[in-house]
Structure 1
Amino acid sequence: MPLSVRLSIFYGSLCIFGGINMPFFPVWLESKGLGAHDISLVLAATMFLRIVAGPVFAFIADRWENRRGVAILLSWMSLASVSLFLLTDSFWPIFFVSALLMSLWPSVTPLVESIAMRATREQGVDYGRVRLWCSITFVMAATGGGWLLEWNPASIIIFCMIGAIAIGAAGAHLLVKERPAAKRLRRPGGQFRISLALARHPLFIVGLLTASLVQATHAVYYAFGTLNWQQLGYGENLIGILWAIGVVAEIILFAFSARVLRRFSAPTLLIIGAGAAILRWTLTAFDPPLWGLFGLQVLHAATFCAAHLGAMHFVAAAAPGSLAATAQSLYGALSSGVVMGTATLIAGPIYQAYGGHAYLLSAALGVLGLAGALWLASRWNGGVLIEDTGDNPKTAGETETGSNDDRDHPERTRPGC
């Protein structure tokens, strides 16, 4: 079976869970008696745990050069964890099961992203065409979940989440076994030193923070979008369609991502995503009519997809190949953990007090993301930031004085852009 097909199938199986969990898990939490503040605590706490869990699992996977094996292990552990929701019925049990599950399942994503980006770089796989299957299954799950919720109690959501992870665990076995790279001559601790050097690089920090801020503009939407639409009188089926419109828009952009990446650099895509976020969330904050809401949902192609493509290609180009999963997990920890977690935690009381006007918080994050993207575009030349040279990692990839000239790394300059 071709590698691109294997990756497509796994991406598809991976995102069924997101299509159920993201729009409807808050509905299940509310059915258990949790208020807006409690919901934001549960969601934010699970995001903060990714700060540690994701990088640890990715570091192990890079060290073992066995990202597939770690992904399979995490998938089956996640299946056991999500099943524990059947035994929970109050805040603290729900909190701890959520924390366990979301320490494990999201840690799979940076592993498969590093595999996919390596396949893009080395074997010419079209990342967008592969990644769009994640969006396709997401929209199918969101639409189907909305339909099921119309005719069933909220408890159906947990059974859907269990089934989704079971499918994801089966899909993980389709990933191709990796062939270890040539033996790297590095004294003990060398991988940690180069990981630390990359994590401390100013441009890498700014790039990750910028992408994280743009993705965090979705915090209010992910946590309270469904609940807000319910309060506005929209039914679950229509809400599922609204979620689906946004994802269909991102699918279309993913399908043409190869052309997009030939025209736009990673920082430019982040600029587009941030600008669209400012527009989308500012207008959403004032409860637009349904026809306007449909149009704003189309902007998800920019606020999520364009920003995601920019982030993935920035991380893949800026980090050395030996730290592929570690670099992706650092982005995941900052984006889905620190920044998204903080935004979600803040969003809870703001939404409780001001309802839909909480989307103005998202617009403000978009402004910060736009500033970071503009700065990154002016400073990064598109090349690797830290050269993997064994015991002494060297700095590269900046346009400022003292950086290496682009001619030293012609094959790394603006990859895919």
Structure 2
Amino acid sequence: MLYIWRYALTLPSHSSVTSKKSLIILALTYWLYFGQLGVLVPYLGIFLDGRGFSSQDIGELFAVITLARILGPGLWAGVADKTGNAVGIMRLGCLLTVLTFSSVFYFSSFWGLTFAFGLMMMFWTAVLPQLEVITMNAVSTSTANYGQIRLWGSIGFICLTVTAGKALDIFSTETPVYVSVGVLSLLFISTLFITAPAKKSKTESEPGSIWRFVKQKPFAIFIFASACLQISFGAFYGFFALYMRDLGYSGQQTGVFIAFGVLAEVGIFLVARHLISRFGVWNLLFASITLTALRWYLLADFAQHISVIVFSQVIHALSFGLTHAVSVHFIHQYLPAAFHSRGQAVYISIAFGLGGASGNYLAGQQWSQGTNAYETFVTAAVFAAVGALSLFLCSKKVMDGKAPQQA
């Protein structure tokens, strides 16, 4: 392991020109990163159910391991910003992720699996913030845009979600972890070939703490709305596959449902830059989060109809795809360059970490082996609605970068 890590650090991390090959490698890395999420996020509940855990156990385990996303991103991003070695941090995170994830084959108890997944998640949080910053910097020196690179993550999610769903119909509920180990190994290998733009000179560094920006009203409201959105995702991430199974849908159908939502996401990434320039950050966030509330209500009351599930999955293009593209854009425009990694880390820590953990725990407490599916998704809809309404506390012009920032 030490030899592999030393070798990874000796590989080139910086390039003054963004080549087509570099962009292809970034696209492949997104494919593998989100492809892994396509295996684990929808089917982790089925894996745990196969291990004999109750819905309350599943919700609590999801919540505990998600808490790692609170501390991890800030720790890794701080090191990346201060050392300027975002690529090295990303490689280390990928290597340690695959090694710690492999320990799930040796644990069977609740706390054993919680430890394995929690430790894996701590290292996993080193990957995406650095990848986002590297990609934003890379496309700034090329004719490509962020959405054109990021959409390959959605394609990877689709491919591996459908594949894993079909595999679950054929093989055991252990399938997701076997596939995950393979994908994580390939992800680490892909990062060995990533190069990033040259390090900034010391004169470009920005003194002070990231928190002086976080406490400003536009950023604070953005984080709150994002956290409410991720809380609302708790029911979907933790129990959608089990919900579909309880309603009589096969594993392959569930995989297709999930893949269809992500396919719609691909289209959004292709036009995200145009939508942001046309409608602005505030309008897109409000519309996307409001429609997410509608999405959860539809799943609560009408999930027995395939057409309703398909329509709700189309909204996923906005619930995740557009909100993510808009959020990355907002952070990149709102914060000085020296704080980009830490800004992404704060976003992931609070929104996905604290918000995601809260949503997972709450959904697990409500689900009750599926008997409270309606109440669980209605609660998710309420949180999404609160997030959308909170945006009215912030000026559109300030959030869109068309007015001076408020101290």
In structure 2, relative to structure 1, the CA distance for the partners of 1:208 and 1:117 (3 Å cut) is farther
On the 8 A contact 1:250/1:302 being kept in 2, the answer is yes
Show the counterpart of 1:224: 239
Shift of 1:381: 5.1
**In structure 2, what is the Cα distance between the partners aligned to 1:120 and 1:319?**
18
* TM-aligned CA deviation for residue 138 of structure 1: 0.4
Distance 2:160 2:124 in 1: 17
Residue in 1 that maps onto 2:280 = 265
Report the equivalent of 1:151. 170
Which residue of 1 is the match for residue 87 of structure 2? 68
Number of the residue aligned with 1:415: none
CA distance in 2, matches of 1:185, 1:309: 26
Q: Which residue of 2 aligns with 1:295?
A: 311
- 5+ residue gaps, structure 1, are 386-395, 404-417
Distance 1:355 1:370 in 2: 23
CA contact 1:68–1:172 (8 Å) conserved in 2: yes
Change (3 A) 1:137 1:110: same
The code of the aligned residue for 2:292 comes to A
2:215 corresponds to which of 190, 200, 204? 200
**CA distance, structure 2, for counterparts of residue 209 and residue 141 of structure 1:** 31
The aligned amino acid for 1:355 is A
Give a deviation string over 1:376-404, Cα, whole Å, max 9, x none.
3436153399xxxxxxxxxx524xxxx7x
Alpha-carbon separation, structure 2, partners of 1:295 and 1:16:
23
Aligned partner (choices 134, 149, 159) of residue 115 of structure 1? 134
2:373 paired residue number = 355
CA–CA distance in structure 2, aligned partners of residues 85 and 12 of structure 1: 24
Matched residue, 2:149: 130
Task: Point out the more displaced range, 138-147 or 153-162.
Answer: 153-162
Inter-partner Cα distance in structure 1 for 2:147 and 2:293: 25
Of residues 247, 250, 266 in structure 1, which corresponds to 2:265?
A: 250
- In structure 2, the residue matched to 1:392 is none
Please tell me whether the aligned partners of residues 230 and 359 of structure 2 are also in contact (alpha carbons under 8 angstroms): no
TM-score by length of 2: 0.90
Corresponding position of 1:210: 225
Whole-Å separation in 2 of the counterparts to 1:341 and 1:154: 24
> In the alignment, which residue of structure 2 is the partner of 1:326?
342
Amino acid at match of 1:349: Q
- Give the Å deviation of 1:185: 8.1
Change (3 A) 1:122 1:365: farther
Question: Residue by residue, what CA displacement relative to the aligned partner does 1:311-366 show, whole Å, maximum 9, x if unpaired?
Answer: 11111111110111110010000111111111111111111151243111111111
Give the drift of 1:308.
1.1
> Is the counterpart of residue 373 in structure 1 residue 373 in structure 2?
no
- Name the SS of the counterpart of 1:34 in structure 2: coil
2:330 aligned partner? 314
8 Å contact from structure 2 (residues 134, 196) kept in 1: no
1:13 and 2:13 correspond: no
- Identity over aligned pairs, percent: 22
Given that residues 63 and 358 in structure 2 are in contact (C-alpha distance below 8 angstroms), is that contact kept between their aligned partners in structure 1? yes
How far is 1:216 from its partner? Answer: 3.1
Per-residue displacement from partner, 1:168-195 (whole Å, max 9, x unpaired)? 1111122214422112387xxx75x332
Say if 2:124 is the partner of 1:105: yes
Cα distance in 1 for partners of 2:114, 2:389 equals 35
State the partner residue of 2:72: 53
Deviation at 1:122, TM superposition (A): 4.8
Verify: 1:86 aligned to 2:105, yes or no. Answer: yes
SS in 2 for 1:4: helix
Give the Cα separation in 1 of the matches to 2:176 and 2:281: 37
Question: Which residue type is aligned with residue 232 of structure 1?
Answer: L
TM-fit CA distance, 1:124: 4.8
Counterpart contact for 1:68–1:178, Cα < 8 Å: no
The correspondence for 2:185, drawn from 155, 159, 166, is 166
Kindly tell me: are residues 106 and 279 of structure 1, through their superposed partners in 2, closer, same or farther at Cα, counting changes over 3 Å? same
For the pair 1:277 / 2:295, whether they are aligned, the reply is no
Paired AA for residue 363 in structure 1: A
Alignment size in residue pairs = 385
* RMSD of aligned Cα (Å): 1.9
Most deviating of 98-107 and 238-247: 98-107
3-state DSSP of counterpart to 1:153 = coil
Tell me which amino acid in the other structure corresponds to 1:58.
Answer: A
8 A contact 2:218–2:399 mirrored in 1: no
Contact 2:296 2:380 in 1 (8 A): yes
How much does 1:256 deviate? 1.8
Residue 25 of structure 1, CA deviation: 1.1
> Which residue, 382, 386, 401 being the options, matches 2:400?
382
Q: Which moved more, 1:118-127 or 1:294-303?
A: 118-127
**Worse-superposed segment, 368-377 or 217-226:** 368-377
Gaps of 5+ in 2: 1-18
After TM superposition, give the deviation of residue 206 of structure 1 in Å. Answer: 1.1
Q: Following TM superposition, by how much is the alpha carbon of 1:368 offset from its aligned partner in structure 2, in angstroms?
A: 1.1
Q: 1:323 to 1:384 in 2, by over 3 A?
A: farther
Inter-partner Cα distance in structure 2 for 1:177 and 1:286: 47
Tell me the amino acid that sits aligned with residue 375 of structure 1.
L
Normalising by the residue count of structure 1, what TM-score does the alignment of the two structures yield? 0.88
